[in-house]
Amino acid sequence: MNQKPKVPSSDPELAFNELMQTVAASTQQLMIDFLAHQPEAFKREIDQYMFSNEFLKGMSEIRLDPVTAIEANVNFWKDTFDLWGRALNDELGVPGKEVVTPEKDDYRFRSKSWTEDRIFDFIKQSYLLVARYIMTSVESVEGLDEKKKTQIDFFIQQYIDGMAPTNFILTNPDVLRRTIESDGQNLLKGFQNILSDLERGEGQLKTRMVDADAFELGKNVAVTPGKIIYQNELIQLIQYEPTTSKVNRTPLLIVPPWINKYYILDLQPKNSLIGWLVAQGHTVFVISWINPDSNLAEKGFDDYLLEGPLAALDTIETITGSSETNAIGYCLGGTLLSATLAYLSAIGESDRVASATFLATMIDFANPGDLGVFIDHEQVTNLETRMNQDGYLDGSDMATTFNMLRANDLIWSFVVNSYLMGDKPPAFDLLYWNSDSTRMPAKMHSQYLRKMYLENSFKEPGGMTVAGIPLDVSSIKNPAFFLGTVDDHIAPWKSTFGGASLFKGSTKFVLSGSGHIAGVVNPPAANKYGYWSSRERPKGDPDSWHQKATLKEGSWWPHWQRWITKYVGSKVVPRKPGRKKNFPALEAAPGSYAARRFD
């Protein structure tokens, strides 16, 4: 950086404004240099949000609450003097307590060297003190609306994360130790990794998160046996092979999000929700969305509903002979499922769905969580301009957005491991799925962003229409099970709780430990995280519900299974996929739609 943040002066507001302007200017130059070597998708995301006129204008308009500013300055200098005093005592052999410690979920400083080595312990605590001071001060700004304040908070945090001592050779003890022990071979390997990633990205640096060669769809991920028994332009419908002597009469349809591929629910046999559901006696069908190209640019929300869940329900009814189907929607798939229920209610066919389960699903988008940082009228308009050129949003664009929400885990850790430590990317099934991103048709993505995130009109009666029919989610009377996850940064659990309160029918809410993926994909054998449950209907204050709910150990899966038992019907002979004359097996699961990539 060309400039260093100035030491706060006696005028707290002036000092903080100077600091923020310096941070903004330093960040801009730093990121310009950094972006010169990054993929176009990453450049567009940063340039669009961080260096937009609106963002820099917001930086110049910052005003501080005087009391908070003074308190932040006093605490910062007190802690700084305490840190220096501790460092001097360490030199004299009188150890003391740390002045500041990393958060429990901050794994950057987990190496013992950050605590046992006095120099690196001082570097770590100095960084954490400055980071805390900046963020405490930013959180107290006045004169900005909440949306802009949240955006500034987010991008200042990106700057702070990028400047962590863990990200640089001379201030990372583990990198220094590896360099000494290997005679610099780690840096040579890191440079080779850079060259490899540049070659893979055809001149653009695309940092590998995973050893993609270690996985193959249908071989060691997405291995639950099944067949593609139906397809149209948007979906392939998978029917899975039964594994029990009898199955439930009422079949089960899973609607995954179209932003990612369905096999997050079928990574490995040990953590496959799909495989577990089959083992419970469900006849399981799963929608596998197409990875679209420009030919599907005009596919909109109507098409995704009619050619997705509705087409699947028609097919399932013909194959199984059951007039009812249980349904599960995950994330955006749950949002689409709620729209499907509202549509069926409007046309008098709500009884086609015996029950509906919503996993980490938002229906009320008033508080969309961290993703809201990337969504306002200016940003959506810019995004639409880009999408209209290609006819779709490229999967790498969305992947970059999600990775920025957890930059330390999903960006900087891979930079350090690959380019500084010289390690090969890990063979990790979840990261393989995460890197297998999908495109989204321009029309669909635009409609979704505007109707849900910008306008939050989906929850309002008539706020959206399908095939000319107004939707009203408050008309839904189907029995419903909602799962929120306590650490969800994509679908915050309090927002999922608010959506659950909109339905008229019997509704149950369960709160799982962990986050958007681990809280959902939590097999019983792992015995992890736990969940909160209550007999009370979800309504009113979510915190009040949480306080009254009972914490139970283990996975929520068996709890859900007990809930859905009353909606599965009697036991019948297992249905083998591909046996119906009109719906022969087209190919083996996971199918060609899931395998389609645009790397």
Q: Which residues are catalytic?
A: 331
C-alpha separations of 452 from 126, 185, 577 in Å: 42, 51, 36
- DSSP secondary structure letters along 414-440: HHIIIIIS-PPPP--HHHHHHHS---E
The three-point CA angle 302-303-305 to 5° equals 65
User: Which of 227, 241, 236, 326 minimizes the C-alpha distance to 288?
Assistant: 236
Beta strand extents in 360-464 (DSSP E only): 392-393, 440-441
Q: Are strands 252-255 and 325-330 parallel, antiparallel or unpaired?
A: parallel
360: left (phi over 0), alpha (psi -120 to 50) or beta: left
Secondary structure in 3-state letters for 52-108? CHHHHHHHHCCEECHHHHHHHHHHHHHHHHHHHHHHHHHHCCCCCCCCCCCCCCCCC
CA dist 154 and 167 (Å) reads: 19
Q: Are strands 469-470 and 465-466 parallel, antiparallel or unpaired?
A: antiparallel
Q: Under a CB-based contact definition with an 8 Å cutoff, are residues 265 and 364 in contact?
A: no
Q: Are strands 252-255 and 284-289 parallel, antiparallel or unpaired?
A: parallel
Residue found under tokens 């005009």: 298
3-class DSSP state of 588: strand
In one-letter notation, the amino acid at residue 407 is A
CA dist 459 and 555 (Å) reads: 30
Q: Are strands 440-441 and 392-393 parallel, antiparallel or unpaired?
A: antiparallel
CA dist 149 and 155 (Å) reads: 10
CA dist 299 and 290 (Å) reads: 12
Q: Is 225 exposed, middle or buried (0-12, 13-18, 19+ CB in 10 A)?
A: middle
CA dist 59 and 111 (Å) reads: 36
CA dist 49 and 37 (Å) reads: 19
User: Which of 306, 321, 312, 260 minimizes the C-alpha distance to 285?
Assistant: 312
Give residues with Cβ within 8 angstroms of 264, minimum separation 6. 256, 330, 430, 433, 517, 521
Half-sphere exposure of 154 (CA within 13 A, CB side): 23
3-class DSSP state of 550: strand
Q: Under a CB-based contact definition with an 8 Å cutoff, are residues 519 and 513 in contact?
A: yes
Phi, psi of 208 (to 5 degrees): -75, 130
Encoding tokens for residue 293?
Answer: 């190209």
In one-letter notation, the amino acid at residue 575 is R
